[in-house]
Amino acid sequence: MEALIKELVETYGPSGEETAVRELIDEKVRGSVDRTFTDNLGNLFALREGPAPRLMFSAHMDEIGVIVTHIDGNGFLRITPIGGVAPHLLVGQRLRFKDGVIGTVYHEKIKGLKELSWPKLYLDIGAASREAAKERVRIGDMACLHQPFVNLGERYLAKAMDDRIGCAVLVEAARRLPPSLPQGVCFLFSVQEEVGLRGATTAAYRLEPDYGFAVDVTSVGDTPEAPLMAVSLGKGPAIKVKDSSVLCHPRVRELMIETAEREKIPYQLEVLERGGTDAGAIHLSREGIPSGAVSIPCRYVHAPSEMVDVSDVRHAVNLVMKLSTRAWPLLDSGNGSR
């Protein structure tokens, strides 16, 4: 699975430009499901047919990045964020465009970090003039972080763990599913999560699943002077209770906990005070879809190097697999079981 994770995180794919990620995942997952297909927004669905109800697990393919807004007279590029990027985390970083052009981010003269804002930042691609820059980059081109995957032993370090690790978990879970399932399962690889859960919105509308699950990273409270949060690396995947986008359906959450306990999968309960995930869009689709989330604890979310624990990832795969193979109750239309 490590090779798969390395390949996924090193692929270019800011929100709206997920093509390379989608093609890679399609190739990896196609053999494990009945069929794959895409929609108008670029979501990739990998479907295992089965009787009702239908489950949908969603991991987003897109990553945070920047977009070029202006090329100045000396060939420096001005940029603005795609998704939630803190400007101070980009200073000194290398960014890469889709076609491989690489540059580094620096800032104009400032007195302190507090003065650092997007208009103070620029991207230097080593172009000697405006004309030279325009030959390589156009207004509206996007770039993402340029960082290699590193195996630290018990932990992995990479850009875009958010949420390629979720994609890897779903691909791996799909591979390991038994030939027969008690219900239909769709693995959704969604687009544009970082700019407002947009891919999951249309995907849930199209697929009309009975249950929805986001598989995404969550923040942790186990680093020096971190905000109070009872999630740590290495204590198992987290079963989400709440974030800014969703209050997970109490019955779904209970069934997830029951599954983890029965299968002896270590888990944590997650209350994330800031941040959202695809479940936020899925649960409000059409007449409402009971939803939950499996979260992979991750340090330094939206920083150039995000860290996850190897055993958490392994247990997350197992949890998604066991959630897919347990039987879920049928829901009446318009009169949910609560």
Residues 6+ apart with CB under 8 A from 167: 8, 21, 25, 59, 60, 61, 189
What sign does the CA torsion over 104, 166, 15, 218 have? negative
Min CB(283)–another protein separation in Å: 7
**Which part of the chain contacts another protein (CB under 8 A), choosing from 71-79, 105-113, 139-147, 245-253?**
245-253
From candidates 175, 241, 259, 263, binder to another protein by CB under 8 A: 241
3 state DSSP class of 21:
helix
Residues 267-296 that bind another protein (CB under 8 A): 268-271, 273, 283-284, 286-290
Question: Which of 7, 247, 263, 300 contacts another protein by CB under 8 A?
Answer: 247
Q: Which is nearer to another protein, 180 or 335 (CB)?
A: 335
Work out whether the CA dihedral 243, 236, 192, 107 comes out positive or negative: positive
Cβ–Cβ < 8 Å for 263, 318? yes
Q: How far is the CB of 218 from another protein (least distance, A)?
A: 12
> Alpha carbon 302 to chain centroid distance?
11
Stretch that binds another protein, among 32-40, 145-153, 168-176, 241-249 (CB under 8 A): 241-249
Determine the straight-line distance between the first and last CA of the chain, rounded to whole angstroms.
37
Which residues does the annotation mark as catalytic? 193
* Three-class secondary structure of residue 288 per DSSP: coil
Nearer to another protein, 109 or 338 (CB): 338
CB of 3 to another protein, least distance (A): 35
Closest approach of Cβ 24 to another protein, in Å? 34
Query: How far is residue 235's CA from residue 223's CA, in Å, rounded to a whole number?
Result: 14
**Phi, psi at residue 184, to the nearest 5°?**
-70, 145
Nearer to another protein by Cβ, of 43 and 268: the residue is: 268
Residues that bind another protein (CB under 8 A): 221, 228-230, 241-242, 247-248, 250, 253, 268-271, 273, 283-284, 286-290, 331, 334-336, 338
